[in-house]
Chain A
């Protein structure tokens, strides 16, 4: 496939891997004293495991898996609230497929559907608008979640519904933004991060400058990266080169897709429909200032929080995790998934305790799906 297979070329990878090894040696990175590079996005975590990149790179590179998996960081009470909305007899709840199996406090959307709620998987929020148009006697609610990658399409769906004068469409907004949790991680004294591989699809919308503070205020490099294995390896090399040179900059490896200043049309739609919440809860990370979006009052008629009287109350205490779960420690990169006492025991993809095991982009699911070969293989 054009534009895909070129970026999966094993021969080209060898060249990049050698360059990575030279840079890592130059820095003096070793297995015992590694360079910590956080890939923020779950899509990158998935690709790293799918292609076994973590084992192909120099010993002195350690990938820390970041919080960039939208369903993984969704707090359980928001899942509960979503189910509460779905229980209204008039409601058709629409959602991306990923969210179906995410456990709430007691149950998931999948289970709620089996109990009789009308819950349907859609591929785009615009499909939900169309569903509302075809079902005028029902209330169609879209479970809006995700980072800046999905926020524009939800914004467009609200604008479309407003233009069409629909009164039976609304969005339960859980959209979040990428830069604030990175700041929170950098402020955490326990974290040792030397550089970042940044999410390419997010920057396709927001550009690369919202990350400027990382280089300016914290002196860390960040390279916005594509999702093919060669993209990721090249980005790792660019981070290492910066460290070698004593530079800290925001660079763009994914220039074939990411414009420096983002996508103006998408940004305008986001700005028209949403405003920043004072704070929003992240599963495993707690409340983070200015990290979530809510629907502006001019679009209140399309805001499911308003329509169903749910609102958003800042959590006083971070919600307790399921017993024995270490999602928070995994999400902040403090431990690797197999170090969680529940990994593969109480928590499997069939019976997930935490969302990290559910989403295909969750670090635990990635380890489970792709990483077990190395856990179980005979010692070489």
Chain B
């Protein structure tokens, strides 16, 4: 399907009456390009996404774009997760928050999203309704519009229920320029909250560990938090949301790009006891567990406390804390100082984390 979401072909032509979806599951007919497809798009997606439109493409305008020196930010991300619904969120919430976060950590104000769905034959309408509703809710919370999209239906086994791709456009106001290359020796490294909750929640929700847990995903959008940081600490050097590969991978990438070493203190890492316990049992390292709403900041020392105070005043930053510092390059990107008084290299993740034998 091409085109605008509100605007997806056939969506909201105004005069046409919606016919109810037949059955309770997606069939290959819903990918055929005919009426069944149109009904699926309208009844599941465009009826909950705003705004509505009738054209074949989104034509976008925002006052922020007019400011001299303003830049457009553009990002895309695909989401595949098992299970698609988990404590604290679902694939739809992930897809909206993830792309918004990619925009805001570059300093952009997020404005518009596209959403593309690859749906497996047999996927329940009820599930798609829940996913669409959570996307609409998250988009509204963050003040962004889902303005275009696409659906495809593939045969059973060719996808796992539903895959979602979102792209996002935002505007970076004039004068804002952050990035890993601006990180300086002496910068304070700050995170907004506990680490590894998303990864631990997904592991537990898969059910094959026979572990019960109360951990919920940290999936959330970080727009308000980033705005608070920009207001309080305009000298911010770099920001990133630590997602797949966890804090370890994010710090490695940033340190390599900046040509410095990041030294973090084990005693300062915010970790829940449940997450620590799960990692002890399975032989996993929480530094590599995925997050979906964890902000990593590099802030000059003289603005670090200002940033922390501002972060703590927002819901997504209540547990914000310093975890370490950028130091002159020591040959490896990231070093952890253990509570025991030793040091170890925190490497990039190799492949997936695999549970150990004993």
A372 near B210 with CB under 8 A, answer no
Residues of B within 8 Å of A375, CB to CB, are 331
Establish whether residues A127 and B208, one from each chain, have CB atoms under 8 Å apart when the complex forms: yes
* Residues of A close to B283: CB separation below 8 A: 360
Measured CB to CB, the nearest residue on chain B to A366 is: B344
Residues in A whose Cβ lies below 8 Å from that of B280 = 1, 4
Inter-chain CA distance A201–B283, complex, in Å, is 15
Q: Given the complex, which residues of A lie within 8 Å of B342, measured CB to CB?
A: 50-53, 55-56
Residues of A within 8 A of B340 (CB): 8, 10, 13, 51-52, 56, 229
Q: Please give the distance in Å from A370's CB to the nearest CB on chain B.
A: 4
Of A19-27, A142-150, A272-280, which binds chain B? A142-150
B335 on interface, CB distance cutoff 8 Å: yes
Contact with A along B337-358 (1 / 0, CB 8 A): 0111111110100110011111
Interface check A302, CB cutoff 8 A: no
Nearest neighbor of B338 in chain A, beta-carbon distance: A51
**Cβ of A164 < 8 Å from any Cβ of B?**
no
Interchain CB contact (< 8 A) of A101 among B330, B332, B351: B351
Residues of B within 8 A of A374 (CB): 343
Q: Min CB distance, B207 to chain A, in Å? A: 11
Inter-subunit contact B356/A360 (CB<8 Å): yes
User: How far, in Å, is B356 (CB) from chain A's closest CB?
Assistant: 5
Residue B273 lies at the interface, judged by CB distance under 8 Å to chain A: yes
Q: Nearest chain-B residue to A43 (Cβ)?
A: B358
Provide the bound-state CA to CA distance between A311 and B335, in Å: 47
A56 to B354, CA, bound (A): 30
Nearest CB in chain B to that of A230: its residue: B340
- Out of B282, B332, B358, which one reaches A146, CB within 8 Å? B358
CB distance from B204 to the nearest CB of A (A): 12
In the complex, B69 has a CB within 8 A of chain A? no
Q: Within the assembled complex, what's the spacing in Å between the Cα atoms of A108 and B70?
A: 51
Question: In the bound complex, how far is the Cα of B209 from the Cα of A1, in angstroms?
Answer: 20
The answer for the CA separation of A350 and B343 in the assembled complex, in Å, is 23
A49: chain B residues at CB < 8 Å are 344
Complex Cα distance A256/B340, Å? 22
* Interface membership of B276, Cβ < 8 A: yes
Q: Using A13-B340, A52-B338, A349-B350 as known contacts, say yes or no to A123 and B355 having CB atoms under 8 A apart.
A: yes
Q: Is the CB of A71 within 8 A of B345?
A: no
Of A50, A98, A123, A369, which one neighbours B210 at CB under 8 angstroms?
A123
Contact with B along A38-56 (1 / 0, CB 8 A): 0000010000011111011
CA A71 to CA B343, docked complex, whole Å: 27
B277 interface contact, C-beta 8 A:
yes
A100 on the B face (CB < 8 A):
yes
Q: Chain B nearest CB: distance from A189 CB in Å?
A: 32
Q: How far apart are the CA atoms of A348 and B140 in the complex, in Å?
A: 46
With A1-B277, A10-B340 in contact, is A370–B356 under 8 Å at CB?
Answer: no
Taking CB atoms and an 8 Å cut-off, the chain A residues in 147-182 that contact chain B are 147, 149-150
A376 at the interface (CB under 8 A from B): yes
Whether the Cβ atoms of A150 and B358 lie closer than 8 Å is: yes
In the complex, are the beta carbons of A149 and B273 less than 8 A apart? no
Chain A interface size band reads: 35 or more
The CA of A349 and the CA of B350, in the complex, are separated in Å by 7
Residues of B219-268 contacting chain A, CB below 8 A: none
Given contacts A10-B341, A52-B338, contact A96 B331 (CB under 8 A): no
Q: Which residues of A contact B343 (CB under 8 A)?
A: 52, 373-374
State whether the Cβ of A371 lies closer than 8 Å to any Cβ in chain B.
yes
Distance between Cα atoms of A376 and B280 in the complex (Å)? 29
Query: How close is B194's CB to chain A, nearest CB, in angstroms?
Result: 15
Interface residues on B, range: 20 to 34
B283-297 to A contact mask, C-beta < 8 Å, 1/0: 100000000000000
- Nearest residue (CB) in B for A69 is B357
Do most interface residues of chain A lie in helix, strand or loop, or is the interface mixed? helix
Smallest CB separation, A164 vs chain B (Å): 19
Interface residues of A in 335-380 (CB under 8 A from B): 349-350, 359-361, 368-378
Closest to A358 in B: B350
Identify B357's interface contact among A50, A51, A145, CB under 8 A. A145
Interface residues of A in 65-123 (CB under 8 A from B): 70-71, 96-101, 110, 121-123
User: Cα distance A78–B54 when bound, in Å?
Assistant: 63
Known: A52-B340, A123-B209, A360-B283. A369 touches B345 (CB 8 A): yes
CA distance A378 to B341 in the complex (A): 18
> Do the beta carbons of B345 and A121 come within 8 Å of each other?
no
Who on chain B is nearest to A130 by CB? B208
CB <8 Å contact, A56 and B341: yes
Q: Tell me the nearest residue of chain A to B267, going by C-beta.
A: A10
Contact with A along B70-81 (1 / 0, CB 8 A): 000000000000
In-complex Cβ contact of B332 among A70, A97, A372, A378 (8 A): A372
CB A134 to nearest CB in B, in angstroms, measures 13
Is B331's CB under 8 angstroms from A52's CB?
Answer: no
Least Cβ distance of B211 to chain A in Å? 9
Known: A100-B354, A369-B345. A123 touches B276 (CB 8 A): no
**Closest CB in chain B relative to A99 CB, distance in Å:** 8
Whether B350 lies near A350 (C-beta < 8 A) is yes
Contact indicator A370/B210 (Cβ below 8 Å): no
B209 contacts across to A, CB distance below 8 A: 123
CB distance from A299 to the nearest CB of B (A): 22
- Residues in B neighbouring A377, C-beta threshold 8 A: 330-331
Residues in B neighbouring A150, C-beta threshold 8 A: 357-358
Is the beta-carbon distance between A98 and B356 smaller than 8 angstroms? yes
B210 and A373 contact, CB distance less than 8 A? no
Q: Which of B276, B331, B355 contacts A97 (CB 8 A)?
A: B355
Minimum distance in angstroms from A326 CB to a CB of chain B:
21
In the complex, the answer to whether A8 meets B339 with C-beta atoms within 8 Å is yes
Bound-state CA distance A127–B208 (Å) is 8
- Interface 1/0 per residue, B150-168 and A, CB below 8 Å: 0000000000000000000
Given A1-B276, A8-B339, A123-B209, 7 additional A-B pairs, CB 8 A: A10-B341, A13-B341, A70-B357, A98-B356, A150-B358, A371-B344, A371-B345
Chain B residues within 8 Å of A, Cβ to Cβ: 208-210, 273, 276-277, 280, 282-283, 330-332, 335, 338-345, 347, 350-351, 354-358
Ranked 6 nearest A-B pairs via Cβ: A52-B342, A97-B354, A376-B331, A370-B344, A149-B358, A349-B350
Interface residues of chain A, those whose CB is within 8 Å of chain B, are 1, 4, 8, 10, 13, 43, 49-53, 55-56, 70-71, 96-101, 110, 121-123, 127, 145-147, 149-150, 201, 229, 349-350, 359-361, 368-378
CB<8 Å pairs between A and B, sample of 25: A1-B276, A1-B277, A50-B344, A51-B338, A51-B340, A52-B338, A52-B341, A52-B342, A52-B344, A53-B342, A55-B342, A97-B356, A98-B354, A98-B355, A100-B354, A121-B355, A127-B208, A149-B357, A150-B358, A201-B358, A361-B356, A369-B344, A370-B345, A373-B344, A378-B330
